[in-house]
């Protein structure tokens, strides 16, 4: 886009120079999100500080037919906040106010740039918290969580972002402002809020999000079980679910992930082939009874070592290692691709064995750390991008893993979204009728395909 483009002139009237970024050096930090294999320089970045600025920017983009991308912390692992060529990036980090927190109604109304963890911190004095807890919880924003329907370690029991968003004020791609849902769990009419959550930015930008808050659990009981194989850990997950227990979280880490977590967080994990973290939470009396049952079930799966957290500090240390695993894997290799496929729980052992075989076949290390309770795999494919062809081979292996998930009756994404990375795999999971319907819905909301153009769906519907 030429610097004389009328849109840039209009944006210059709306934003002061320090909040309208157009120079190459200024744009460099926005060329990629957490999936650094994809890079694209935008025409400009605007640092919005109010909802009115966001609305007016969207209206100007619609008027001049220039695509735009909303961006929070840029933690997307699928290229979801990758800029569009010659497009505008609308940075939302400064829209970071908790507008209202009502402990009686157990809701919080927040702007899109609010950090996920900050909601729970604000609600804590009232004995409440916000349940979805992605690994990037200390830095990811609620706006991004809404766009990708983020989950987290405790989604097995509490569900995804969509289960905790009651209402949304949003600006549509043509600049119209709409109010979806409300403040109640019991909605009336179509579920427009559910329609918007998980749209990956294709339906516009959320300006205010009404979140459901939950009472803080009275107590937690957390155990760590070590196994001599990933398959054994996977079978242990099936045994826990079959027992009738519903843990708050069940997470698995393999040898490479354990190694990375030890370097990054010094969690004191056993050096073994696989670790299973299981956590129960709720009322003390019920949790203690369930924990006794859980110990029996886990002991029956013959772990090589079993530990239980005896204090809040020990529990925090266990979770610190798990939460640090993604970033710590960067210590094992210069580059990695993280996948996000899902398989039925009953196929977990089969999927892990197949991933191990693929890793050996390609000669590429794969670290596994994932939400075992709902079969959401997060294989981290380690490579060195400086080696010729290394990225292409890693991407090929990643594709084989996604095909495996589809073949086993699962999904290509659990919470990271399709973005740019998995766009070509969407037609493998859905048939022509379903794909055509998705494009019709997209066109109905944004006929010019200005909002996050090219993500999830091919431009123009040419799948």
pLDDT at 244 over 80: yes
Question: Residue holding tokens 């692992």?
Answer: 77
Residue 415 within any structural domain of the chain:
no
Taking residues 309-328, report their average pLDDT: 87
Same domain for 283 and 398, yes or no, is yes
CA 257 vs CA 254, 339, 369, 397: distances in Å: 5, 14, 6, 18
Same domain for 120 and 231, yes or no, is no
Residue 26 maps to which CATH number? 3.30.43.10
Same domain for 277 and 140, yes or no, is no
Residue 229 maps to which CATH number? 3.40.462.10
- Contact in structure between 306 and 355 (CB atoms under 8 Å): no
Q: What is the pLDDT of residue 448?
A: 96
41-74 per-residue burial string, b: 16 or more CB within 10 A, e: under 16: ebbbbbbbbebebbbbbbbbbbebebbbbbbbbb
pLDDT-based confidence at residue 80 (cuts at 50, 70, 90): very high
Same domain for 144 and 193, yes or no, is yes
- Rounded percentage of the chain residues whose pLDDT exceeds 90: 81
pLDDT at 186 over 90: no
Taking residues 382-405, report their average pLDDT: 95
Taking residues 18-37, report their average pLDDT: 93
Same domain for 345 and 211, yes or no, is no
Domain boundary among 42, 74, 91: 91
pLDDT at 279 over 70: yes
Question: Residue holding tokens 């179509």?
Answer: 190
Residue 419 within any structural domain of the chain:
no
Same domain for 147 and 14, yes or no, is no
Q: What is the pLDDT of residue 230?
A: 87
What is d(CA 162, CA 193) in angstroms, rounded to the nearest whole number?
Answer: 8
Q: What is the pLDDT of residue 92?
A: 98
Same domain for 172 and 226, yes or no, is no
What is d(CA 374, CA 154) in angstroms, rounded to the nearest whole number?
Answer: 10
Q: What is the pLDDT of residue 304?
A: 97
Same domain for 167 and 264, yes or no, is no
Residue 202 maps to which CATH number? 3.30.465.10
Taking residues 391-418, report their average pLDDT: 95
Taking residues 271-298, report their average pLDDT: 96
Q: What is the pLDDT of residue 193?
A: 96
pLDDT at 462 over 70: no
Domain boundary among 44, 63, 91: 91
pLDDT tens digits along 140-182: 999 999 999 999 888 999 999 999 999 999 999 999 999 999 9
Same domain for 236 and 368, yes or no, is yes
Which residues, 6+ apart, have CB-to-CB distance to 313 below 8 Å? none
pTM: 0.93
Same domain for 380 and 271, yes or no, is yes
Give helix 230-242 / helix 348-362 axis angle, nearest 10°.
160
Which residues, 6+ apart, have CB-to-CB distance to 169 below 8 Å? 51, 177, 178, 179, 180, 206, 207, 208, 209
pLDDT-based confidence at residue 204 (cuts at 50, 70, 90): very high
User: Residue 148 is part of which domain span?
Assistant: 98-215
Same domain for 301 and 286, yes or no, is yes
- Contact in structure between 170 and 196 (CB atoms under 8 Å): yes
Q: What is the pLDDT of residue 268?
A: 87
Residue 50 within any structural domain of the chain:
yes
Phi-psi region of 373 (alpha: psi -120 to 50; beta: other; left: phi over 0): alpha
Residue 424 within any structural domain of the chain:
no
Residue 420 within any structural domain of the chain:
no
Task: Identify the CA nearest to 173 among candidates 208, 204, 199, 207.
Answer: 204
Domain boundary among 194, 215, 236: 215
Residue 177 within any structural domain of the chain:
yes
Taking residues 379-399, report their average pLDDT: 94
What is d(CA 100, CA 317) in angstroms, rounded to the nearest whole number?
Answer: 33
Same domain for 309 and 225, yes or no, is yes
pLDDT tens digits along 336-359: 888 899 999 888 888 988 999 999
Residue 425 within any structural domain of the chain:
no
pLDDT at 457 over 90: yes
Mean pLDDT of the chain: 94
Q: How many domains does the chain have?
A: 4
pLDDT at 267 over 90: no
pLDDT at 1 over 80: no
CB atoms within 10 A of CB 114: 27
Residue 222 phi/psi, 5-degree rounding, is: -125, 135
Residue 418 within any structural domain of the chain:
no
Q: What is the pLDDT of residue 379?
A: 93
pLDDT at 463 over 50: no
């Amino acid at each position: 886009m030429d610097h004389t483009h009328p849109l840039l002139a209009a944006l210059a009237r709306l934003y002061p120079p320090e909040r309208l970024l157009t120079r190459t050096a200024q744009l460099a930090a926005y060329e990629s999100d957490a999936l650094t294999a994809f890079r694209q320089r935008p025409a400009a970045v605007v640092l919005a500080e109010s909802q009115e600025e966001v609305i007016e920017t969207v209206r100007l983009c619609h008027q001049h037919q220039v695509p735009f991308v909303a961006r929070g912390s840029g933690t997307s692992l699928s290229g979801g906040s990758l800029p569009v060529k010659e497009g505008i990036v609308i940075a939302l980090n400064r829209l970071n106010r908790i507008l209202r927190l009502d402990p009686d109604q157990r809701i919080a109304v927040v702007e899109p740039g609010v950090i996920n963890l900050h909601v729970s911190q604000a609600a804590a004095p009232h004995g409440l918290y916000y349940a979805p807890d992605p690994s990037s919880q200390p830095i990811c924003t609620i706006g991004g969580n809404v766009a990708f329907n983020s989950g987290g370690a405790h989604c097995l029991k509490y569900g995804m972002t969509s289960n905790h968003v009651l209402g949304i004020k949003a600006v549509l791609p043509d600049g119209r402002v709409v109010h979806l849902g409300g403040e109640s769990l019991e909605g009336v009419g179509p579920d427009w809020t559910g329609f918007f959550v998980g749209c990956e930015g294709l339906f516009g930008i959320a300006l205010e999000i009404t979140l459901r808050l939950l009472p803080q659990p009275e107590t937690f009981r957390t155990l760590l079980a070590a196994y001599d194989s990933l398959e054994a850990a996977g079978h242990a997950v099936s045994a826990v679910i079959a027992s009738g227990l519903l843990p708050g979280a069940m997470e698995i880490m393999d040898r490479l992930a354990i190694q990375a977590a030890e370097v990054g967080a010094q969690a004191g994990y056993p050096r073994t082939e696989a670790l299973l973290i299981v956590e129960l939470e709720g009322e003390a009396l019920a949790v203690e009874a369930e924990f006794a049952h859980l110990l029996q079930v886990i002991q029956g799966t013959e772990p090589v070592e079993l530990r239980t957290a005896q204090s809040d500090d020990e529990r925090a240390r266990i979770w610190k290692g798990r939460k640090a695993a993604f970033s710590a894997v960067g210590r094992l290799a210069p580059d990695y691709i993280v996948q996000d496929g899902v398989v039925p729980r009953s196929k977990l052992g089969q999927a892990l064995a197949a991933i191990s075989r693929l890793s050996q076949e390609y000669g590429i290390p794969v670290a596994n750390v994932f939400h075992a309770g709902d079969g959401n795999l997060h294989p981290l494919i380690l490579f060195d991008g400086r080696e010729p062809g290394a990225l292409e081979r890693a991407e090929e292996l990643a594709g084989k893993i996604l095909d495996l998930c589809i073949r086993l009756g699962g999904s290509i994404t659990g919470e990271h979204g399709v973005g740019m990375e998995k766009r070509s795999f969407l037609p493998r999971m859905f048939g022509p009728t379903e794909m055509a319907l998705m494009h019709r819905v997209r066109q109905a909301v944004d006929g010019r395909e200005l909002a996050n153009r090219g993500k999830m769906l091919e431009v123009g519907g040419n799948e």
